[in-house]
Amino acid sequence: MTATDLVLHHYPRSPFAEKVRVAFGLKGLSWRSVIQPRMAPKPELVALTGGYRRIPVLQIGADVYCDTRRILAWMDRVAALGHGTVEELSPEQALDIARLCQPMATSASPHNDIADDQGLPFKEGVMVSVMPTDWGFDPVIGALVSAGHDSIALRREDPDVGATVVHFPRAGFAIARL
């Protein structure tokens, strides 16, 4: 098990997760499968995401990618090809991976167009919340790592898991400074 292994948190009947599984298959990636409950509570999932409870979620070490759009965007940029195999993992094993890893996301933000009321860009490290705008309004709170046209990443310290960086798409999510 390495910090670069792909760990998909999902459940079989999720159509959103199916998109990601098919994309893994098309790219021939090796990945590990963690089956999460369909309904809340999902304690082992929210320990990684900071509150986001929807499926699918992709974990790479202590980096956690929420929402199909963010996951597929990440996959488009990464050329790593594997053998197209799946290995089952328990939620506890997934948390162990996060505990053993440090987030790889850097704070180098290529572009930051998230501005406050005065038009000043949010600085790295400010506390923000990110929340879906359609349903499942669970805000995830953390320190801004990077923000761009398409994505935003927050750093969290979870009492059980340690440091994680949680990645979201911009589309479909409301961002607020705390």
Ligand X SMILES: N[C@@H](CCC(=O)N[C@@H](CS)C(=O)NCC(=O)O)C(=O)O
Site for ligand X, rule CB under 6 A? 14-16, 38-40, 53-56, 67-69, 136, 172
If the CB atoms of residues 55 and 64 are measured against ligand X, the closer one turns out to be: 55
If the CB atoms of residues 54 and 170 are measured against ligand X, the closer one turns out to be: 54
If the CB atoms of residues 8 and 161 are measured against ligand X, the closer one turns out to be: 8
Query: Minimal distance in Å, beta carbon 171 to ligand X?
Result: 9
DSSP H/E element including 103: none
Query: Minimal distance in Å, beta carbon 41 to ligand X?
Result: 10
Q: Under the phi-then-psi rule, with left for phi > 0, alpha for psi from -120 to 50, and beta for the rest, what region is 170?
A: alpha
Residues in contact with 175: Cβ distance below 8 Å, sequence separation at least 6, in sequence order: 114, 128, 129, 130, 147, 152
Query: Minimal distance in Å, beta carbon 47 to ligand X?
Result: 15
Is the CB of residue 95 less than 8 Å from the CB of residue 64? Answer: no
If the CB atoms of residues 53 and 156 are measured against ligand X, the closer one turns out to be: 53
Nearest by Cα to 155 from 69, 62, 81, 78: 62
Query: Minimal distance in Å, beta carbon 30 to ligand X?
Result: 22
Tell me the angle at which helices 68-77 and 15-27 cross, rounded to the nearest 10 degrees: 10
